[in-house]
Structure 1
Amino acid sequence: MQSTIAFIVVFGSIVFFHELGHFIFAKRSGILVREFAIGFGPKILGITKGETLYTIRLLPLGGYVRMAGDDMDNIELQPGYRIGMQLNDKDEIEKIVLNQNKQLPDMLFLEVEKADLQKELWVEGYDEDEKLVRYNVARDAVINENGTETIIAPYDRQFNSKSLGKRAMTIFAGPLFNFILSCIIFIIIGMVQGIPTYEPIIADVVKDSPAASAGMAKGDVVTAINGKTIDSWQELSEAIQNSPKKEMTLDVNRNGQAEQFTLTPKEAVVNEQKVGQIGVQYVSPMEKNPLKAFSYGVEETYRWTMKIFELLGMLVTGKFSLDALSGPVGIYKATEEVAKYGWINVMNWAAILSINLGIMNLLPLPALDGGRLLFFGYEAIRGKPVDRQKEGMVHFVGIMLLMILMIVVTWNDIQRFFF
């Protein structure tokens, strides 16, 4: 149960923040957002607030923000439709009822001849006296079809009516918010747990190791190696690893007293490389500083971003196998393992996953945010947008390929963890 809750909180949070980015910038651009969904498939819970339906759906594999002007969002009144209408105090249509033959209070009926629900906002047709009449339509009018109400979307509130910059920012905001979430999580970790100082302090010495034989002890602070100043554990580690079987002199601060030790790192093979080891252990001291926590959040986000790009590079060059990729099942099992070591580790894992989701969505692949941004870039160079049908077909093919990849990765996860 604890693992399930951890997975729902972690995965739900990073998906929520991703979609929140799209949602906020769509709203700022004046785009009508029809639905803000977490998950896919059948609706479990739905609440309508204002003009947006907020839903939680069955399959926890992502989420979406459905904006007016999408391919499936067209609302048309064809000639011959018989509609019911309710008017506001300006004699504008505020509600259009389809498939309704029952007379409701204050409802007028009309057989549609022509209609424009996007730009000029009017409906023309024959009333019950067979007289040709025209009514203006309110900008916030709703269409009720079989009990389901949908707000009309004037063209200036549709996604494709906005400037290239606003459309691009609305799409880019999803991955951007994943990086922002990562920064926030690392900042919280820095404030609660403290920030590692990476001081070159020896946490422990392994028995019968070169360091133990030389006389080094727990608590020693290494200040120099072979006369070169050492300021961090990373510098100390690199100097030792690069010197297998080479004698070195370590200057050490021990309880305020200067000491000097001479030793020779033994040779070991790590990842098929020969490295030096002297047998010391390290645990970074932690410093609690709210101001430094902010810079720590940004630095950790940057560090993990570069690390993930490095892994992507290895994937492209074949140094990293597709079999090592994980889908939802793999993420669940990893979260289950991380949850055993406390909520700080779960938060750290969530930050890394958020960065990963942001980067994956920025890849220039069809159906991903990066693929849509690629089309926007082409539009900026060409001076006009790509034909929507052609772009839609490319994204559809991309979705199919991504679904196939997801099935393959999930099957690999199942085989890895359950067989």
Structure 2
Amino acid sequence: MNSIQIAFQIVLMFFVLVSLHEFGHLYFAKRAGILVREFAIGFGPKIFSYKRGETRYTLRLLPIGGFARMAGEDPEILQVATGQTVGVRLKDGQVTELHTDRFERLPNLLVGEIEDFDLEDGLFLVLSIDGESHRFPVYPKADIISQGKETQIAPKDRQFGSKTVFQRFLTILAGPVMNVLLAFLLFLIYAFSAGVPTNIKLGTIEAGSPAAQADLKKGDVILSVNGEAIGRDGDRLVELIQASPGKPVLLIVNRGGEQLQKEVTPVQMGETIRIGTALGYETRRTQFGEAVTGAWKDMTFMTEQILMSFKKLIVGDFKMDDLAGPVGTVKFTAEIASAGVAPMVRWSALLSLYLAIFNLLPIPALDGSRLVFLIVEALRGKPIDPNRESLVHFIGFAMLMLLMIAVTYNDILRLFQG
């Protein structure tokens, strides 16, 4: 597989993982009636941007995540003030556009000084025009245009904080859930593509090894060891070989439909007792029920492994080299992609599951922390001060970025050190 194909697979994988996560937030936010201002893949400067409906969709430079920016998550910043001169555009008697500058150049605008306004609850604007006060209703989806940039107003009922705890909980939880569903789907695809192992098949034979001396060939199917049927139990095969250092082991193999007897003597090779061959499997087509069961077992096993790795982080039982940032992840992903489609599918499933579990951790700035705040709000019957919550998330995000920088620096050092 060439470098362009590998790079395309890596970009596609990260795009799908992040996009689906943020789509979960976007979908349930829109179902709840929340105004989603931006749906972004990546952070940093914009590379590509377009607006559809109320939401601006953007692709940003740093492919290390994404976000769905909802009205009311941060305090709404109004770009107008009493006493300010503005230009407004009316449609059916309602203000649909409010220009804070450059309005002298635009036709068909009413220009006046703001005497009073409410763009969240009452939705009205009072302007002094030629010394007379005029009160105008404001369209709930009106735009404030400042320096050429449009910002849709967010009435209270369109803001994140105005929705019920349950609606907000679903909106936040939907991101990780989408990654869990994607992980299961990818594990299911892998189960179908990998097939069901039936017998153990020998892989590459190392030159000069006991396996080569015994005339074992790549593709030989192991039927029995010392009279014990092996089937697909690779662990038992390894156990029997390692239990016989320096002692001949009788193998019955199937080679092209013919059963052959081969006597091989395991020896110490490196740190283990081996015969010098890789092991693989003969497979058959996976049935649907087997695929579902296999995908579920794969996902539960990987979940346990991920939780164990997080436990090591919490108790401090790790070294810096145990962690990988974007550079290390991309490097390892490239190695897996070069091994074929099936390993790449399984690796993508693992990353999707990891993204879901990591985001559910109660770390400030992550979805898990926001869910904790919502649970506390439900228990105490009133929300936590939004400014305090925003400060906690900001500090958490800054700490995560510092950790990301440190891990990425370590990745780059390892890359240059080979």
- Equivalent residue of 2:136, what SS? strand
- Equivalent residue of 1:283, what SS? strand
Tell me the C-alpha RMSD between the 2 structures. 3.7
Amino acid at match of 2:200: I
Q: Deviations over 1:128-154 (max 9, x none)?
A: 232222111111211111221121111
The answer to whether 1:174 aligns with 2:175 is: yes
CA–CA distance in structure 2, aligned partners of residues 290 and 80 of structure 1: 72
- Equivalent residue of 1:176, what SS? helix
Amino acid at match of 1:201: I
Amino acid at match of 1:119: D
Q: Tell me the TM-score normalised to structure 1 length.
A: 0.83
Q: Pairwise mapping of residues 16-415 of structure 1 onto structure 2 (< 5 A)?
A: 16-71=19-74, 73-75=76-78, 77-89=80-92, 91-102=93-104, 104-126=106-128, 128-191=129-192, 193-195=193-195, 197-199=196-198, 201=200, 203=202, 208=210, 218-221=220-223, 233=233, 236=236, 240=240, 282-289=279-286, 291=288, 292-415=290-413
Q: Tell me the TM-score normalised to structure 2 length.
A: 0.83
Amino acid at match of 2:84: Y
Cα offset for 1:238?
8.4
Change (3 A) 1:29 1:244: farther
Change (3 A) 1:133 1:377: same
CA–CA distance in structure 2, aligned partners of residues 172 and 182 of structure 1: 16
CA–CA distance in structure 2, aligned partners of residues 326 and 346 of structure 1: 18
CA–CA distance in structure 2, aligned partners of residues 194 and 361 of structure 1: 29
CA–CA distance in structure 1, aligned partners of residues 230 and 382 of structure 2: 57
Q: Deviations over 1:157-183 (max 9, x none)?
A: 111111111111211211221222222
More displaced stretch, 174-183 vs 43-52? 174-183
Change (3 A) 1:225 1:304: farther
Change (3 A) 1:83 1:414: same
CA–CA distance in structure 1, aligned partners of residues 77 and 226 of structure 2: 71
Change (3 A) 1:365 1:276: same
Change (3 A) 1:322 1:114: same
Q: Deviations over 1:55-99 (max 9, x none)?
A: 11112221111111132643353111212111122x111111111
Change (3 A) 1:301 1:84: same
Amino acid at match of 2:303: T
- Equivalent residue of 2:154, what SS? coil
CA–CA distance in structure 1, aligned partners of residues 102 and 70 of structure 2: 27
State the identity %: 37
Cα offset for 1:4?
3.3
CA–CA distance in structure 1, aligned partners of residues 96 and 160 of structure 2: 23
Maintained 8 Å contact 2:251/2:263: no
Maintained 8 Å contact 1:92/1:137: yes
CA–CA distance in structure 1, aligned partners of residues 110 and 240 of structure 2: 87
**Gapped regions of structure 1 (runs ≥ 5):** none
